[in-house]
C-alpha cells in the first residue's frame, strides 16, 4: 500500500502538493462560510459580486496560509512557493476565463466583461501582479526549479510582463495628456499593448505596411483575447514546470524514506 501511494504521488505530484491534508476540514468550512456570507451580503445588503468574491477569498486565505506553512515544513521553501504560485495563478486564470466567457458566450460589452473581481481589472493591478509573478518564478529558479519548462515559463512571464509594462507606460502618458487638457473624468484603462488590434506591432512606424502588421491574431485579436492567451500559456507552462520539479522532489523524498525504513 505504501508503495502504491508513493507511485500515485509521483504520477500526480501537483495533486499531492496541493492536497490540503490536515487542513481539509478547515478549507471545506472556509468555502462553505465564504459562500454563505457572500450570498447573504448580496441578498440582504446589495453587495456587488466582487465584494462577495473578495470576502470568499479572504476567508479561504486563513486555511490557505496554514496549508502553505505545512508545505514549507513538509517539502521546503521552494515547494511552498510552487504551491503558492499554482493556487494564486490558478485563481487568476479563472478570472481570465470568466472574462472570456462574459464577452464571447454572454455577448457582454468589453467594458462589462471585467471578470468576478472587477476593480482588480486595472492597469496598476496588472503591472504589480505580473512583475510579482516574474520575481516569484525567478526566485523558484534560484531555489531549484530549473527544468526546461521552468526556463520557458520565465521567458514567457517576462515577455508577458513587458507587454503590461508597455501598456502601463501608455496609460500614464495618456492620463498625463488628459490632465494637461483639463480632462479628469475619463480613464485610460484598456489601451492596446504590443500585440492585438491597435497595438504596437500593427500600428508602429517600423512595422506598419509590412507582413508583421498583418499577422493573424497577433495584430487582429482584441485585448481581452490577447491576455487570455498570454495567461493560458503562462498557466500551462507553470503546470509542466511544477510537475517536472515536484516529481523529482517527491522521488528523492520517497527514496530517502525507503532507505530509512528498517
List, as one string, the DSSP characters of 229-240. Answer: HHHHHHHHHHHH
Residue 79 CB-density burial (10 A; 0-12 exposed, 13-18 middle, 19+ buried): buried
Give the per-residue pLDDT at 3: 46
Give the per-residue pLDDT at 6: 52
Give the per-residue pLDDT at 119: 87
Assigned C-alpha cell, 200 = 504596437
Instruction: Pinpoint the alpha helices (H) of the chain.
Output: 2-11, 13-18, 24-44, 49-75, 77-104, 123-143, 148-180, 200-203, 223-260
Give the per-residue pLDDT at 180: 85
Give the per-residue pLDDT at 254: 62
CA distance 224 to 245: 31
Residue 185 CB-density burial (10 A; 0-12 exposed, 13-18 middle, 19+ buried): exposed
Give the per-residue pLDDT at 251: 84
Give the per-residue pLDDT at 222: 95
> Which residues of the chain fall below pLDDT 50?
1-5
CA distance 53 to 56: 5
The residue assigned the cell 515544513 is: 73
Using only the alpha carbons of the chain, give its radius of gyration. Answer: 22
Q: Where are the beta strands (DSSP E) in 48-178?
A: none
Give the per-residue pLDDT at 178: 86
Give the per-residue pLDDT at 202: 95
Angle at 260 between CA 259 and CA 262, to 5 degrees: 95
Amino acid at each position: 500500500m505504501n508503495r502504491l501511494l508513493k507511485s500515485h504521488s509521483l504520477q500526480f505530484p501537483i495533486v499531492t502538493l496541493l492536497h490540503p491534508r490536515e487542513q481539509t476540514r478547515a478549507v471545506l468550512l472556509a468555502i462553505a462560510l465564504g459562500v454563505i456570507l457572500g450570498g447573504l451580503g448580496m441578498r440582504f445588503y446589495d453587495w456587488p459580486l466582487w465584494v462577495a468574491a473578495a470576502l470568499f477569498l479572504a476567508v479561504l486565505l486563513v486555511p490557505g496560509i496554514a496549508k502553505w506553512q505545512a508545505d514549507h515544513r513538509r517539502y521546503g521553501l521552494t515547494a511552498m512557493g510552487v504551491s503558492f504560485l499554482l493556487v494564486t495563478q490558478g485563481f487568476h486564470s479563472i478570472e481570465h476565463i470568466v472574462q472570456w466567457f462574459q464577452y464571447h458566450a454572454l455577448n457582454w460589452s468589453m467594458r462589462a466583461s471585467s471578470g468576478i473581481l472587477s476593480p482588480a481589472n486595472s492597469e496598476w493591478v496588472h503591472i504589480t501582479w505580473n512583475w510579482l509573478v516574474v520575481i516569484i518564478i525567478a526566485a523558484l529558479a534560484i531555489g531549484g526549479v530549473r527544468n526546461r519548462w521552468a526556463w520557458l515559463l520565465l521567458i514567457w512571464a517576462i515577455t508577458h510582463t513587458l507587454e503590461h509594462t508597455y501598456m502601463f507606460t501608455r496609460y500614464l502618458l495618456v492620463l498625463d495628456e488628459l490632465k494637461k487638457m483639463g480632462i479628469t473624468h475619463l480613464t485610460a484603462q484598456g489601451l492596446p499593448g504590443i500585440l492585438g488590434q491597435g497595438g504596437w506591432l500593427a500600428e508602429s512606424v517600423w512595422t506598419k505596411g509590412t507582413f508583421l502588421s498583418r499577422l493573424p491574431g497577433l495584430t487582429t485579436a482584441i485585448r481581452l483575447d490577447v491576455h487570455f492567451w498570454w495567461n493560458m500559456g503562462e498557466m500551462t507552462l507553470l503546470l509542466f514546470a511544477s510537475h517536472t520539479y515536484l516529481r523529482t522532489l517527491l522521488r528523492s523524498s520517497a527514496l530517502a524514506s525507503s532507505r530509512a525504513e528498517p
